[in-house]
Amino acid sequence: MRIATWNVNSITARLPRLLAWLENSGTDVLCIQETKCAAEQFPADELRELGYESAVNATGRWNGVAVVSRVGLDDVVKGLPGDPGYEGVEEPRAVSATCGGVRVWSVYVPNGREPEHPHYAYKLQWFEALKAAVAGDAAGSRPFAVMGDYNVAPTDDDVWDISLFDGATHVTPAERAALTALREAGLNDVVPRPLKYDVPFTYWDYRQLGFPKNRGMRIDLVYGNAPFAKAVTDAYVDREERKGKGASDHAPVVVDLDV
* Whole-number Å distance between alpha carbons of 174 and 200: 23
Question: Do the Cβ atoms of 93 and 63 come closer than 8 Å?
Answer: yes
> How many residues are listed for the chain in this entry?
259
Q: Which amino acid is at 155?
A: T
Question: Do the Cβ atoms of 228 and 249 come closer than 8 Å?
Answer: no
Residues annotated in the binding site, as ranges?
Answer: 7, 34, 149, 151, 249-250
Residues with Cβ < 8 Å from 228, sequence gap 6 or more? Answer: 102, 143, 144, 145, 190, 257
Residues with pLDDT less than 70, the chain? 193-199
Question: Do the Cβ atoms of 198 and 214 come closer than 8 Å?
Answer: no
Q: Judging by DSSP bridges, how do beta strands 188-189 and 2-7 pair with one another?
A: unpaired
- What's the topology of domain 71-245? Deoxyribonuclease I; Chain A (3.60.10)
DSSP one-letter code for 86? B
The pLDDT score that the predictor gives to residue 6 is 98
* Whole-number Å distance between alpha carbons of 161 and 245: 26
Backbone angles phi, psi at 211, to 5 degrees: -75, -50
Q: What is the pTM of this model?
A: 0.96
How far is C-alpha 189 from the chain's CA centre? Answer: 12
Whole-angstrom CA distances from 172 to 91, 114, 115, 167, 175 are 23, 10, 8, 8, 5
Question: Do the Cβ atoms of 240 and 225 come closer than 8 Å?
Answer: no
Q: What is the pLDDT of residues 40-55, one digit of tens each?
A: 999 999 999 999 999 9
Could you list the active site residues?
108, 149, 250
* Whole-number Å distance between alpha carbons of 33 and 109: 10
Domain boundaries, the chain: 71-245
Please list the residues that pair with 147 across neighbouring strands: 106, 222
* Whole-number Å distance between alpha carbons of 105 and 32: 10
Q: Which amino acid is at 71?
A: V
The pLDDT score that the predictor gives to residue 200 is 83
The pLDDT score that the predictor gives to residue 195 is 47
Question: Do the Cβ atoms of 57 and 64 come closer than 8 Å?
Answer: yes
Handedness of CA 125, 56, 43, 99 (dihedral sign): positive
Question: Do the Cβ atoms of 189 and 183 come closer than 8 Å?
Answer: yes
The pLDDT score that the predictor gives to residue 61 is 84
Residues with Cβ < 8 Å from 17, sequence gap 6 or more? Answer: 241, 246, 247, 248
The pLDDT score that the predictor gives to residue 194 is 47
Residues with Cβ < 8 Å from 23, sequence gap 6 or more? Answer: 50
